[in-house]
A and B are shown apart, each in its own frame.
Chain A
């Protein structure tokens, strides 16, 4: 099947042309920010910069960074870049890692955001013949509104179920023969598990593709979701600060996410020195929004750890690809001095045939950190032989040790005893902070 695009002229634009577009937009955006966002203007002045110093993307590295701390300091209106009369909406984060982020949108900002989501849906095989169920939460969370808007643009029949009420979700998928599902990967896994329990096999499930994001998930989890639902699962990336989902999305190659570079310029930096790193080197992802007017963040540090690649993609898109983030620097746990990402634990669990539902509990006992991983026992794994179960448990402890360099306690718990999430899964309970 020939690759289809939502905006072919942009998505397959030759690199030189794309760079010229970025140069022009960046120069205009820096001036827009200088004139409208005193908070950032002050940061530029501190570095002795004026808009005249930024002549194109090669000058990007001169600009100061923005971080979550800036967002907190400038809350609520300090980074607003358009007059109130032009702003039509806010979206907000869940605020789990501190103060809520509130982002503003003009109608044009919403429009470009929805274009980005539409590109993701078309890349996943969506068209005006598709029935697209959006099971991301609607409301302040960007997941629902973003994919909903994108789905409309593509012309899919959109089912705005929002999150929750799993029985109803499954009823709509089956009754309306939904072909595309948009939700968090953990909820997709849960839906898959529930449908399997109802006796539905992958060939009975009408879904063909899934667009899953808003949390880190592993390649193994992708495989398991694809198998249970009989679909192709596509990753989508974004953050509220930059609009929401659709900043980057996966194509049929499933080897990374194309960043919508006509709207967002990506850099990878050394998180300690701030130095820009070349392609292929892992570092912190930094974005500059070059078209959004109401919340125009320049050089925003995402805290996501990933790698960029400009290698030619078989799908024909020319935009740079980012690897699946290894995890946010916020998600990273430091246990006994070792850096641990929950996604590493997930990889080991799924490799050894455990369900995708798990809980990581970190605690401090007598001044030493402890790591406990709780996984659910499955009927396939259970035997009357304690020795065999203990052997499997040991295998998991060994697998975790070789992945993390740490000894974890593995606890087998009863099936369904770990709470299923309908939005972002809460995988980690860190009791050390309490």
Chain B
């Protein structure tokens, strides 16, 4: 039930991120979500895109280093306490969140939260058991 996230090495200098987004834009790749995290002299750009294969191919050709990791895209009802409910489930089941970031679906009212956890299969089944909706790659295409 996981989706694929692309992580790209980004140098910590002006224009580094632009270089990446330019490549994606020029190749018509839609970025659904992007989060940056940084160490002192470099960072990692994490993104969910419309076409993982196309995106990684053009990034590689342009000389960017990347890796792919499984993450969970969880639908968060757009009501007070929506995220709280999800975190409560994960906490009760002892799932540690390594990092997370949010994005908004195009059509739906729901917000989505990307979760990186150590064991995505276990976390996905725990969430499903509690009736929490996860988006798969096909869902993402429609969102």
Report which A residues bind B (CB closer than 8 A): 377-379, 382-384, 386, 389-390, 393, 409, 411-417
5 contacts between A and B (CB under 8 A): A377-B9, A384-B7, A384-B46, A412-B41, A414-B63
B66 within 8 A of A: yes
B92 within 8 A of A: no
Neighbouring B residues of A384 by C-beta, 8 Å: 5, 7, 44, 46, 67, 69, 116
Which of A389, A409, A412, A414 has the most C-beta atoms of chain B within 10 angstroms of its own C-beta? Answer: A414
Chain B residues 87-127 with CB under 8 Å of chain A are 116
CB of B63, distance to nearest CB on chain A (Å)? 6
- The closest CB in chain A to the CB of B12 belongs to A411
B66→A417 contact, CB < 8 A: no
B42→A377 contact, CB < 8 A: yes
Contacts across chains A and B counted by CB atoms under 8 Å:
44
User: Is the contact region of chain A dominated by helix, strand, or loop, or is it mixed?
Assistant: loop
Neighbouring A residues of B69 by C-beta, 8 Å: 384
A382→B9 contact, CB < 8 A: yes
A382→B37 contact, CB < 8 A: no
B65→A382 contact, CB < 8 A: yes
B137 within 8 A of A: no
Question: CA of A62 to CA of B17 in the docked complex: distance in angstroms?
Answer: 65
- The closest CB in chain A to the CB of B68 belongs to A384
A390→B39 contact, CB < 8 A: yes
Report which B residues bind A (CB closer than 8 A): 5, 7, 9, 11, 16, 37, 39, 41-42, 44, 46, 63-67, 69, 116
CB of B55, distance to nearest CB on chain A (Å)? 15
Question: CA of A248 to CA of B64 in the docked complex: distance in angstroms?
Answer: 42
Q: A377-B42, A414-B9, A417-B11 are in contact. Are A382 and B66 (CB under 8 A)?
A: yes
Which of A377, A378, A384 has the most C-beta atoms of chain B within 10 angstroms of its own C-beta? Answer: A384
A386→B65 contact, CB < 8 A: no
A411→B39 contact, CB < 8 A: no
CB of B107, distance to nearest CB on chain A (Å)? 29
A379→B65 contact, CB < 8 A: yes
CB of A355, distance to nearest CB on chain B (Å)? 12
Question: CA of A384 to CA of B16 in the docked complex: distance in angstroms?
Answer: 18
CB of A28, distance to nearest CB on chain B (Å)? 59
Neighbouring B residues of A414 by C-beta, 8 Å: 9, 11, 16, 63-65
| 8 Å CB contact of B11 from A383, A390, A413 | A413
| 8 Å CB contact of A389 from B5, B16, B39, B116 | B39
